[in-house]
């Protein structure tokens, strides 16, 4: 039996159609989602940083021939282009942002589940790197399958270099998002994501995947990933310790909110003058210069 493959769509596809494919297969490849300005910009901005960092110390998951970099909104302005991609955002909104009814007294109030940015990561897989163990990204929250009737994450992997079967193109098991928690993922069931620089893989938190093996002697696989997650789950990357206030203030408001400088239905408030204030309002104030004891005392 041959393994199923991932569908390949163009950026003109509608959000509805892309979501249908993702919920059917567990993921999809969007060919040519980002133009050469974005890809060359990412290479130029992130390349020197990656040159400076060590490969992972953890041989099994991070990979000791793989270099990783976070905090990408501070390292490349092109990160905003990725996060603001209307297709990617539209898909993430449609899958994640389903309202949930919560009683306030006798009234059931629909609360938007919301989405926020879980992590940003540039991943450069080097020659000789073995395959990463196949995993579900929603494992960080100990997510169960089936059980919650919703997905926790919509992830993107942008090909900054070409992705091939030989250089470590992301391994994916199509259809594995439908498996229960008793079935182990096997390497033979996974297929490598092969795509040109500028294309992207979009997949959901319950789909088994992992970085591929790089069997080349001289070719690096350069990918950029970020995840939109349900806004009420803890983020993987700690944004508050990563970015300075100045860096946050330069970002579009949507991204500020999605890096958790916001408060939604009682999650994320900060006390100012006895009130549960919205962090986004703090960002706009001249008298707010540092976190912690730099908080204003009047609303
Ligand atoms: O590098 C890749 O292709 C996938 C990486 C991944 O799945 C992870 O680090 O969680
Ligand atoms: Fe992963």
Average pLDDT in the 247-262 region?
A: 97
Average pLDDT in the 40-47 region?
A: 97
pLDDT band at 2 (very low <50, low <70, confident <90, very high): low
Residue predicted with more confidence, 220 or 291: 220
Ramachandran sector of residue 196 (left: φ over 0; alpha: ψ -120 to 50; beta: rest): beta
User: What's the CA angle centered on 139, arms 138 and 140, to 5 degrees?
Assistant: 90
Residue 78 is assigned to a structural domain of this protein: yes
Instruction: Identify whether residues 93 and 212 lie together within a single domain.
Output: yes
The total domain count for the chain is 2
- Percent of the chain residues topping a pLDDT of 90: 85
Could you list which residues have their CB under 5 Å from ion ligand 2?
137
Phi, psi angle pair for 82, to nearest 5°: -65, -50
Instruction: Say which ligand is closest to the CA of 237.
Output: 1
Give tens-digit pLDDT for 184-230: 999 999 999 999 999 999 999 999 999 999 999 999 999 999 999 99
CATH number of the domain enclosing 172: 2.60.120.620
Output the pTM of the full model. Answer: 0.96
- Contact in structure between 226 and 121 (CB atoms under 8 Å): yes
Determine the pLDDT at residue 297.
87
| CA dist 125 → 103, 134, 241 (Å) | 48, 16, 26
Q: Which residues pair with 117 in a beta bridge?
A: 228
- Name, in order, each residue with C-beta under 8 angstroms of 87's C-beta and a sequence gap of 6 or more: 11, 13, 15, 18, 30, 33
Pocket mutation for ligand 1, best pick of 62, 135, 210, 213 (most atoms within 8 Å of C-beta): 210
Determine the pLDDT at residue 235.
98
Helices (H), 4-35: 15-25
Instruction: Identify whether residues 151 and 255 lie together within a single domain.
Output: no
Which range marks the domain in which residue 294 is found? 244-299
Determine the pLDDT at residue 48.
96
Instruction: Identify whether residues 219 and 259 lie together within a single domain.
Output: no
Determine the pLDDT at residue 74.
98
Q: Is the pLDDT of residue 1 over 70?
A: no
Instruction: Identify whether residues 277 and 259 lie together within a single domain.
Output: yes
Instruction: Identify whether residues 220 and 281 lie together within a single domain.
Output: no
Q: Angle, to 10 degrees, between the axis of helix 86-96 and the axis of helix 15-25?
A: 60
Determine the pLDDT at residue 3.
67
Instruction: Say which ligand is closest to the CA of 168.
Output: 1
Atom of ligand 1 nearest to the CA of 210: 7
**Rounded Cα gap, residues 55 and 215, in angstroms:** 17
| CA dist 141 → 56, 85, 236, 250, 295 (Å) | 23, 26, 10, 31, 31
Instruction: Identify whether residues 259 and 194 lie together within a single domain.
Output: no
Distance 223 CA to ligand 1 centre (A): 9
Determine the pLDDT at residue 29.
98
Query: Of 237, 256, 288, which residue constitutes the final position of a domain?
Result: 237
pLDDT band at 178 (very low <50, low <70, confident <90, very high): very high
DSSP state of 167: B
Instruction: Say which ligand is closest to the CA of 157.
Output: 1
Q: Is the pLDDT of residue 277 over 80?
A: yes
Determine the pLDDT at residue 203.
98
Report the chain's mean pLDDT, rounded to a whole number: 94
Query: Of 214, 237, 260, which residue constitutes the final position of a domain?
Result: 237
Residue 1 is assigned to a structural domain of this protein: no
Residue 3 is assigned to a structural domain of this protein: no
- Residue 210 beta carbon below 6 angstroms from any ligand 1 atom: yes
Instruction: Identify whether residues 114 and 30 lie together within a single domain.
Output: yes
Please, which contacts does 274-279 make with residues 24 or more away whose CB atoms are closer than 8 Å? 275/299
Determine the pLDDT at residue 59.
78
Determine the pLDDT at residue 61.
84
Instruction: Identify whether residues 230 and 260 lie together within a single domain.
Output: no
Nearest CA to ligand 1 atom 8: 210
Instruction: Identify whether residues 222 and 268 lie together within a single domain.
Output: no
Phi, psi angle pair for 225, to nearest 5°: -125, 150
Residue 153 is assigned to a structural domain of this protein: yes
Residue 123 is assigned to a structural domain of this protein: yes
Residue 266 is assigned to a structural domain of this protein: yes
Which stretch of 50-59, 99-108, 188-197, 243-252 has the lowest confidence by average pLDDT?
A: 50-59
Q: Is the pLDDT of residue 165 over 70?
A: yes
Instruction: Identify whether residues 294 and 210 lie together within a single domain.
Output: no
Instruction: Identify whether residues 167 and 257 lie together within a single domain.
Output: no
Distance 136 CA to ligand 2 centre (A): 6
Residue 2 is assigned to a structural domain of this protein: no
Instruction: Identify whether residues 210 and 287 lie together within a single domain.
Output: no
**Rounded Cα gap, residues 188 and 3, in angstroms:** 8
Residue 119 is assigned to a structural domain of this protein: yes
- Percent of the chain residues topping a pLDDT of 70: 99
Determine the pLDDT at residue 58.
82
Give tens-digit pLDDT for 73-91: 999 999 999 999 999 999 9
Query: Of 237, 252, 277, which residue constitutes the final position of a domain?
Result: 237
pLDDT band at 266 (very low <50, low <70, confident <90, very high): confident
């Amino acid at each position: 039996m041959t393994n199923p493959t991932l569908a390949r769509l163009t950026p003109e596809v509608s959000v509805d159609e892309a979501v249908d494919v993702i919920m059917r297969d567990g993921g999809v490849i969007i060919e040519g989602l980002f133009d050469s300005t974005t890809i060359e910009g990412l290479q130029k901005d992130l390349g020197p940083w990656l040159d400076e960092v060590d490969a992972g110390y953890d041989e099994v998951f991070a990979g000791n021939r793989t270099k990783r970099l976070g905090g990408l909104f501070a390292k490349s302005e092109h990160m905003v282009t990725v996060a603001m991609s209307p297709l990617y955002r539209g898909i993430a909104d449609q899958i994640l942002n389903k309202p949930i009814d919560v009683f306030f007294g006798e009234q059931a109030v629909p609360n938007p589940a919301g989405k926020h940015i879980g992590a940003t990561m540039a991943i450069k897989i080097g020659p000789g790197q073995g395959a990463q163990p196949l995993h579900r990204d929603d494992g960080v929250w100990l997510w169960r399958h089936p059980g919650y009737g919703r997905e926790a994450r919509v992830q993107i992997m942008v090909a900054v270099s070409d992705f091939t079967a030989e250089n470590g193109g992301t391994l994916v098991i199509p259809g594995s998002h439908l498996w229960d928690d008793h079935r182990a993922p096997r390497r033979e069931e996974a297929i490598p994501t092969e795509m040109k620089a500028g294309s992207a893989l979009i997949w959901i938190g319950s789909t088994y995947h992992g970085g591929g093996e790089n069997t080349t002697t001289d070719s690096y696989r350069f990918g950029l990933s970020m995840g939109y997650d349900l806004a009420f789950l803890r983020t993987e990357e700690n944004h508050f310790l990563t970015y300075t206030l100045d860096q946050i203030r330069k970002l579009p408001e949507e991204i500020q909110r999605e890096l958790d400088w916001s408060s939604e239905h009682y999650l994320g408030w900060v006390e100012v003058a006895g009130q549960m204030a919205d962090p986004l309002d703090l960002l706009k104030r001249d008298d707010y210069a540092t976190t912690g004891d730099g908080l204003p005392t009047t609303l």
